[in-house]
Amino acid sequence: MRKAILTGLLAATLVPGLAQAQSPELRGDRRDVREEQREYRDAVRRGAPDRVIREERRDVVEARREYRDDWRDHRRRNPDVYRGGGWYAPRGYSYRRVDVGYRFNPAFYDRRYWVDPVRYHLRPAPYGHRWVRYGNDVVLINIGSGRVADINYRFFY
């Protein structure tokens, strides 16, 4: 009995830590994105020439692309994780491709559509945002306004 209790306690303390573990490459990519965003903000604040601001913006886009490629590599290595079950639109709606800035009805970002960013190697959602499944896409939605902040098309198989 004592062994079973100790084993249960040990498992309860170790499993959450393992589930949250991220590869050093993923942490490094996330750090690169933050660093590039910081450099871009600094250039804008300093009033740098337009050429410099464009270069910094390109660096941010490239860093995000590298970070996004990490989930694509993870999907290639673990295809079963990305074979999500069927997606059903809220009553009276159907899927249509959307872009950043599109405004969703609150029914589309209900709790049943939420996606766990750790499980799927997505970047953490900023405060007030949530990753949501929309068809086979994953959409980052501002919960307050319903506006789309980011999209990963054809995320699920």
83-97 pLDDT, tens per residue? Answer: 767 778 888 888 889
H or E segment to which residue 114 belongs:
none
pTM over 0.85: no
75-85 pLDDT, tens per residue? Answer: 777 777 777 67
The answer to whether residue 16 scores a pLDDT higher than 50 is no
Instruction: Note the pLDDT of residue 140.
Output: 93
Burial of 29 (0-12, 13-18, 19+ CB in 10 A): buried
Residue 94: phi and psi, rounded to 5, are -145, 170
Q: Please give the residue that has the higher pLDDT: either 22 or 19.
A: 22
Q: What average pLDDT is seen over the chain?
A: 78
H or E segment to which residue 156 belongs:
none
